[in-house]
Amino acid sequence: MEATKSAIKVAALCGSLRKASYNGGLVRSAMEICKESIPGMQIEYVEVSPLPMINTDLEEEGGKFPAVVEEFRRKISRADSFLFASPEYNYSIAPPLKNAIDWASRPPNVWADKAAAIVSAGGNFGGGRAQYHLRQTGVYVDLHFINKPELFVYAFQPPAKFDADGNLIDAEVKERLKQVLLSLQKFTLQLRGQCCRSRRPNDVLHCLGKRTGKTLDWTWSKSTKTKVC
């Protein structure tokens, strides 16, 4: 039996490829906030731009993917939960993000049973319609989104929320972003505690999380008899 107590690993993905992207600015700010004031959680930025356009002809027999896709899928697989930031493009999420979601959804779907949050910056609904579209995609890939708080940043309304490089400069938005991250942290821990799940193919691990006062201790025991839920 092996005991593990580690920080939650969050993979952050941004749908915009623009250098001065506001959504990229939200991700950078989330990483800073997490480092400075959210113990027990780490955010890794996972790039989606190197991925080829989804094409199942690129998959080899035996479920092998192109090297860059394999590497991306490994990062998604290692993460405990996800932070998505995407602009709204024609009422949906930006294609680079959808492409990334599609690659990681190929069998075995590496998004499954994990918590997620989405934030956005954009035009008159602050990217809201893209957020709701992503939640719909999340149903099929078994992602579990936090419901609240929601964060839609009205990027083009004064006062300026971002500088010329796309860095978030608005204190109130930063505070609201922090609340999203805290909610994601709480929900990730809840999902870990309530659900026994397979961490690796062919390797069923039984979650024995137990509450001790205000902290959570996590023990994982290997068992071939335990059913995955």
Question: Which residues of this protein are in contact with ligand FMN, per CB under 6 A?
Answer: 16, 18, 21-23, 87-91, 121-125, 155
CA angle 115, 117, 119 (to 5 degrees): 170
Question: Please, what is the minimum distance in Å from the beta carbon of residue 119 to ligand FMN?
Answer: 11
Q: How far out from the chain centre does Cα 106 lie?
A: 17
Give the nearest residue (CB) to ligand FMN. 123
* Of 110 and 134, CB closest to ligand FMN: 134
Question: Please, what is the minimum distance in Å from the beta carbon of residue 86 to ligand FMN?
Answer: 8
The structure tokens 């493009």 sit at 89
Question: Please, what is the minimum distance in Å from the beta carbon of residue 36 to ligand FMN?
Answer: 23
Question: Please, what is the minimum distance in Å from the beta carbon of residue 45 to ligand FMN?
Answer: 14
Question: Please, what is the minimum distance in Å from the beta carbon of residue 48 to ligand FMN?
Answer: 13
Inter-residue contact 218 to 4 (CB < 8 Å): yes
User: Which three-class secondary structure state does DSSP give residue 155?
Assistant: coil
* Of 16 and 81, CB closest to ligand FMN: 16
* Of 87 and 138, CB closest to ligand FMN: 87
* Of 92 and 188, CB closest to ligand FMN: 92
* Of 126 and 138, CB closest to ligand FMN: 126
Is the peptide bond preceding residue 87 cis, with omega within 30 degrees of 0?
Answer: no
E-only strand ranges, the chain: 2-3, 8-14, 41-45, 81-85, 88-89, 92-93, 114-122, 143-145, 151-154, 205-207, 210-212, 215-217, 219-222
**Six-digit token string for 160:** 């300026």
Angle at which helix 95-105 crosses helix 128-140, to 10 degrees, equals 10
Question: Please, what is the minimum distance in Å from the beta carbon of residue 20 to ligand FMN?
Answer: 7
**Six-digit token string for 21:** 């992207």
CA angle 129, 134, 140 (to 5 degrees): 140
* Of 123 and 193, CB closest to ligand FMN: 123
